[in-house]
Amino acid sequence: MVASTVSKVVLLLSWIQIAVATELGWGMLGPFPERETPEYFAALRSDYKLRIQEDYVMYSIDILIDPCRDQVKTGGLGTLCCMNTNIAGCQSYTEIEAGNDMQIAFFQNAHITSCRGTVFDGDPNCGTYIEIHRPGDVRVIADVSIDQVTFPNGYQTTRIPTYQLCRGPYELWWVVRTRSGPFLQKRRSFLVTDPGCPAPPGQVESPESRLPPPAIP
């Protein structure tokens, strides 16, 4: 009789603890009930906010320009600041100076198509590339293969030549090259503010390009 009364008192105290926790919204007064027991499930919050997401059927592609330009923001990692990281470790800019190879970062949360190890290995019309184009112009000015890692763990970085770029707007194109032709999947616009080559007709050359060549002793 005494044991039965003690059990009822303990159960009552447990329900009081649960009621207080429900009122407060979190926490328990005393030890939490043992898992897989009615007391445990009664202590779980049941005021769900319905935000049910549809099945995930989309994938993301991203291209970043000069992701480690500001050395202060790299946290001491230098040009590796955006390698195997998420977006928090990377930067991106819309204006560059042509001449040197430009560092870019890229990411896709799905498989990156590759022809490596196949009979088409080395064929420039097979694989995944990032290309530089004038806006709306299908002619490729520069490109770099990005399919070395087919399942990247975060952003990857590489470099693409810019010495042929003159002042003006350009685009980075993410392209999958196949036997059926190239498939454009992503674009990223940027502006060249200082040309790395003579300006085309009708455009003003930069002061540096108008300087006479240095005298050779």
Mind listing the domains of the chain with CATH numbers? 9-43 (no CATH), 61-194 (2.60.40.1930)
Residue whose tokens read 């990005």? 146
**Which pLDDT does position 170 carry in this prediction?**
95
Q: What confidence tier does 3 reach under pLDDT thresholds 50, 70, 90?
A: low
Collapsed DSSP state (helix, strand, coil) of residue 158: strand
For the ranges 52-56, 84-88, 144-148, the lowest mean pLDDT is seen at 52-56
The candidate with the shortest Cα–Cα distance to 66, out of 84, 86, 82, is 82
Q: 42 Cβ partners below 8 Å, 6+ apart?
A: 15, 18, 33
The DSSP 8-state label assigned to residue 164 in this structure reads T
Q: Which strands sit side by side in the sheet containing 95-97, from one edge to the other?
A: 95-97, 181-194, 168-178, 127-133, 142-145
Q: How far apart are CA 139 and CA 137, in angstroms?
A: 6
**Which pLDDT does position 212 carry in this prediction?**
44
* Whether the predicted pLDDT of 214 surpasses 50: no
* Whether the predicted pLDDT of 200 surpasses 70: no
pTM of the model: 0.67
Q: What confidence tier does 189 reach under pLDDT thresholds 50, 70, 90?
A: very high
User: What's the gap between Cα 192 and its chain centre?
Assistant: 23
Q: What confidence tier does 206 reach under pLDDT thresholds 50, 70, 90?
A: very low
pLDDT tens string 14-35: 555 555 544 444 555 667 777 7
pLDDT tens string 59-103: 788 999 999 999 999 989 999 999 999 898 999 999 999 988 999
Cβ atoms 130, 82 nearer than 8 A: no
Between 144 and 178, residue with greater pLDDT: 144
| Residue type for position 143 | D
